[in-house]
């Protein structure tokens, strides 16, 4: 499995398994655990969750049942908007307990809440100092949010997870992150899951350019998009539930896209978000409860 090295020397598998809304939003049962176990059997070792997903316990059960040594896994979770500030350290501890782990490999600020960022980040720095987490990162942070953080951060963020797909390439932000040695990760890399209510025909996987490339290479449209990310040294965390999709998303090493192919995908950008906009998401996020 290909890894990237974060600026602090920690290695992260380039292909991760996204766990948001496996089954349904905040579902936490044997179906979620079994889905994650399928991914582990295929070879995934990087798992992305969050307190607000409500399924940290399901991931923890899968880790326990898999028998895979802890050091072979890369586990990511996130602090939700309502947990930021003075509550951050407690939120982290609850995530650890739900996962049944002694440390996380990466802990993220799920969405920017500028009024809380300093207190949140300083609490995360203390967790990093105490070796409770191996790397600190961000999710959905814009350039201005990163600049605010940089004005006081003692530990630099190693990672920024963004909504990024062929219809939302965020090229300027990606270049900014990469210049500052912040690894870029893509959530909903295929253009949002079934939970979003977006019709499959409206997603990048149905775009004629992507479909033509998939036919040309004898792979799926999803594999084309994921390969486009990997070749640009980005991290991908696709979610899948069917075994065939779990396997396909992990089987990306038998072909390479040409420079022309890459440019044709880049040209699909529409600045179109399927998910929340960091400028406004906090208003609705603060109404969403993190399950106990």
Residues 6+ apart with CB under 8 A from 238: 15, 17, 18, 189, 190, 222, 226, 249
Give this prediction's pTM: 0.95
Which sequence spans correspond to the domains of the chain? Answer: 3-285
Is the per-residue pLDDT at 194 higher than 70?
Answer: no
**Residue 138 pairs with which residues in a beta bridge?**
109, 160
90-102 tens-digit pLDDT? 999 999 999 999 9
Evaluate if residue 62 carries a pLDDT over 70: yes
Q: Of 53, 107, 128, 159, which one is the catalytic site residue?
A: 53
Is 217 annotated as catalytic? no
Cα distance between residue 149 and residue 131, in whole Å = 21
Cα–Cα dist 172/70, whole Å? 36
**Per-residue confidence (pLDDT) for residue 193, from 0 to 100:** 57
| Superfamily per CATH, domain 3-285 | NADP-dependent oxidoreductase domain (3.20.20.100)
Q: What is each CA distance from 254 to 45, 251, 257, in whole angstroms?
A: 20, 8, 11
């Amino acid at each position: 499995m290909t890894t990237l090295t974060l600026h602090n020397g920690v290695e992260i598998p380039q292909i991760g398994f996204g766990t948001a809304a496996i089954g349904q939003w905040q579902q936490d049962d044997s179906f979620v655990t079994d889905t994650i176990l399928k991914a582990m059997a295929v070879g995934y070792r990087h798992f992305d969750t969050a307190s607000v997903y409500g399924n940290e316990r399901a991931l923890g059960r899968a880790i326990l049942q898999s028998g895979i040594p802890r050091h072979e896994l890369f586990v990511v979770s996130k602090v939700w908007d309502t947990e930021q500030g003075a509550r951050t350290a407690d939120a982290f501890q609850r995530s650890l307990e739900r996962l049944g782990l002694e440390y996380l490999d990466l802990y993220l600020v799920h969405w920017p809440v500028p009024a809380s960022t300093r207190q949140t980040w300083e609490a995360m720095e203390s967790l990093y100092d105490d070796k409770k987490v191996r790397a600190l990162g961000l999710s959905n942070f814009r350039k201005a949010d990163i600049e605010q953080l940089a004005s006081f951060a003692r530990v630099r963020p190693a990672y920024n997870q963004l909504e990024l797909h062929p219809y939302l390439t965020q090229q300027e932000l990606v270049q900014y992150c990469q210049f500052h040695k912040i690894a870029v990760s893509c959530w909903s890399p295929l253009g949002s899951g079934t939970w979003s209510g977006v019709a499959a025909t409206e997603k990048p996987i149905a775009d004629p350019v992507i479909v033509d490339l998939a036919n040309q290479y004898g792979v799926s449209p999803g594999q084309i998009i994921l390969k486009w990310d990997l070749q640009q040294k980005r991290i991908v965390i696709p979610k899948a539930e069917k075994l065939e999709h779990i396997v396909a998303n992990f089987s990306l090493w038998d072909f390479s896209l040409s420079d022309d192919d890459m440019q044709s995908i880049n040209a699909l950008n529409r600045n179109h978000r399927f998910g929340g906009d960091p400028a406004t998401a906090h208003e609705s996020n603060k109404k969403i409860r993190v399950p106990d």
